[in-house]
Amino acid sequence: MLSRFAPLAARSVRPVVASRTFSGTLGEAITAGDAAELSGYSKIDFTISEEAMVIDAVQKFAAFNIGCLVTTNSKGDLTGIISERDYISKIALLGRTSKDTKVKEIATQSSKLVTVKPEDPVQMCMEKMLNSDIRHLPLVNDKGELRGMISIKDLVKTTIKEKEQTIKVLSDFALGKGGVYGSE
């Protein structure tokens, strides 16, 4: 009885994935680069000069609805990161003023900076965030150059999208769609 299904089983079956596909196929890890692409903030300049005043960082947070910026020196090298949390804990609570304080005075320095590469799996990004108690990760290439920023929100959205695609593929398979016959 099973022999009549052997020709079907021998065929290469590749599931058809819903609307947006990630860099990998079903079963491959979704990456930090995928999360950055899904983010609504992929076109924002996430940098600020370490010599700028904190008020400039706060204005950029508000203008772009973001919570974190990467600090750079005069050469454009990454020197650290400043977040809304830094502002609250190092300016507002200590009675300092954002107009009189330089970004580099309150930013987390590069020696403590946690980053990811575009090819790093989302799972690794989540683990780094949890282990470091942070909500943002600069996305850097092999040379350490900034390529974007991902937040915990981006990772959650990416994970939900991945789960929705898996459910669609499995549902299509259960209904006899996908693979050889297409899912349309």
pTM for this entry: 0.73
Q: How far apart are CA 76 and CA 8, in angstroms?
A: 57
Please name which of 24, 35, 27 lies closest in space to residue 117, comparing C-alpha atoms: 35
Hey, what are 15's tokens?
């599931």
Query: Tens of pLDDT along 91-107?
Result: 988 889 999 999 999 99
Q: How far apart are CA 141 and CA 125, in angstroms?
A: 15
Q: Which pLDDT score, from 0 to 100, does residue 20 have?
A: 37
Q: Which pLDDT score, from 0 to 100, does residue 149 have?
A: 93
The helix (run of H) or strand (run of E) holding residue 102 is: none
Hey, what are 178's tokens?
């996908």
Hey, what are 172's tokens?
């299509």
Q: Which pLDDT score, from 0 to 100, does residue 15 have?
A: 32
Contact yes or no for 118/124 (Cβ under 8 A): no
- For residue 17, what is the DSSP state? P
> Residue-wise pLDDT tens for the chain (184 aa)?
434 333 333 333 333 333 334 444 455 678 999 899 888 777 889 999 999 999 999 999 999 999 999 999 999 999 999 999 999 999 988 889 999 999 999 999 988 899 999 999 999 999 999 999 999 999 999 998 999 999 999 999 999 988 888 888 888 888 887 655 554 5
Q: Which pLDDT score, from 0 to 100, does residue 81 have?
A: 96
- At 122, which amino acid appears? V
Q: Which pLDDT score, from 0 to 100, does residue 27 have?
A: 55
Hey, what are 67's tokens?
């919570």
